[in-house]
Amino acid sequence: MKKQILLTILLLFLAEAAALVFFAFRDMNPPQDAVLINEAVHTIQADWKQIHEHKNPTPLDYVIIDNDGAVLFRTKPGLSESLNAAVIHRDTMLDIQADGQTVGKLLIYNDNSRIFLRQKQNLLFLLTAVTLLQSILCAGYTFYLNHSIVTPFQKLKGFAERIAAGNLDIPLEMDRQNLFGAFTESFDLMRRELKKARQAEARANADKKELVAELSHDIKTPVASIKAVAEVGTALADTDRLRNHYVQIIRKADQINTLITNLFTATMEELERLSVTPLDMESREIRRLLENADYLRRADLPAIPDCVIYVDKLRLQQVFDNIFANSYKYADTPVSLSAFIETGYLIIRMEDYGGGVPPEELPLLKEKFHRGQNAGQLDGAGLGLYISDYFMKEMQGELTLQNGAHGLCVDVHLALSGTFKDYLRIP
């Protein structure tokens, strides 16, 4: 296919060159047909006495004038009708003889300029058509190269960056028809194997946390009951001494609850060692990050307001990756995107069409190891939104969740850089 396109472009180029050479060396003022001219002259001389009844036996156009310059006959209007006009137009002028005397002039119209103009127009039309065809072929070949080489290479590059960053959830689209088809399949096989190893490691870590989670649940429930009974006792106590006893019980219950919360916090510390290095970045680069994250191509990319934001590009890519992966995994619907500036932040709003989550579950979605009721048998460790929230806080931003009109709505608040804030006079 590639050879055929290149050969066609080469042949068209040679045809253009040949046409230009032919036109450049063509005689622009060829001589007129002497046979036709002699035939016209003899016929006119034979018909001279009845010149007004003369019939033109040739395809030539001409005018017959007498010695005084009066027009006796013309084949059509618009021809040279005087000697001066004939000289200017380079017409052929011949004497007409009758009875041995010159009785008039034959002015044969020179139509070489009209023929040349027609030929030039035909050549220009041909060159325009060939050039257009060449442009279409070049554009098609460029599209083919971009589709077969450039785009797959960019996908492989972005995929390798994600693997290096530890993102193993988003598959690499495979197209065995392009030059990187075999590499694409091998890379995605590597991703799947790494993901299996990562999941096995996560399950092992989750098992270690399971005892803590179960004990905390078992402890928090009776402690909450004790506190509730103590609060009722405080309200019903009829002496200060009894009321103080109940207050002491409430304090101790709160203390136990705090200790349990601290135990949970200690299990999260290892994730907070992930480095985040925010720098100034132009907002137009967000479009590429969203394209990379939308691996199913179900989202229409929004117009991004021009500004400068303060982010870690790699970590922001992970945030978008996690949100798209969660949406496609649990909602399995297209994702609606919008972007706007509000109170010192560039906000990227991402909403699916999955109907949202129960209101009581919204505050828990960013908790470590928490998985929603719709998780079912789907694989996952319950860390995506927790890590994304941590990254956003480290970039002076925020990750907020709410139920939108159609489904779960995630707002990614990206802090505007100090220079841009000053420019907009945003507090």
Q: Can you spell out the DSSP letters for 164-213?
A: HHT--SSPPP--TTSTTHHHHHHHHHHHHHHHHHHHHHHHHHHHHHHHHH
Question: What pLDDT is recorded for position 333?
Answer: 92
Place of tokens 């109170």: 343
Q: Are 246 and 223 spatial neighbours (Cβ–Cβ below 8 Å)?
A: no
- Rounded to an integer, what is the distance from CA 137 to the centroid of its chain? 21
Cα angle 325, 331, 337; round to 5: 70
CA-CA-CA-CA torsion sign (390, 395, 400, 404): negative
Give the residue from 376, 373, 369, 379 showing the smallest Cα distance to 408. Answer: 373
Q: Read off the pLDDT of residues 223-238 as tens digits, 9 standing for 90 and up.
A: 766 887 888 888 888 8
- In order of 251, 281, 386, the CA distances from 415 in angstroms are 40, 11, 19
pLDDT, position 218: 47
Which residue positions in the chain have pLDDT lower than 70? 1-6, 9, 12, 16, 19-32, 113-116, 119, 152-153, 156, 159, 165-185, 187, 205-222, 224-225, 261-274, 369-382, 419-427
Within 227-367, strands assigned E span: 279-282, 308-311, 335-342, 345-352
Question: In which region does residue 396 sit, left (phi positive, over 0), alpha (psi from -120 to 50) or beta (all else)?
Answer: left
What is the amino acid identity at position 301? L
Kind plus residue range of the DSSP H or E element containing 398: strand 398-403
Question: Residue 121 to residues 124, 137, 184: CA-CA distances in angstroms?
Answer: 5, 24, 52
Cross-strand pairs, 97: 102
**Backbone φ and ψ of 67, nearest 5°:** -70, -20
Neighbours of 189 (CB within 10 A): 11
Write the pLDDT tens digit of every residue in 50-81.
Answer: 888 888 888 888 999 988 889 889 888 888 88
- Give the integer Cα–Cα distance in Å for 141 and 114: 40
10 Å CB burial of residue 21 (0-12, 13-18, 19+) is exposed
In this prediction, residue 227 carries a pLDDT of: 81
- The pLDDT score that the predictor gives to residue 425 is 43
Q: Are 149 and 178 in contact, with CB atoms under 8 Å apart?
A: yes
Q: Give the burial string for 106-122 (b: 16+ CB within 10 Å, else e).
A: bbbbbbeeeebeeeeee
Q: What pLDDT score does 28 carry? A: 52
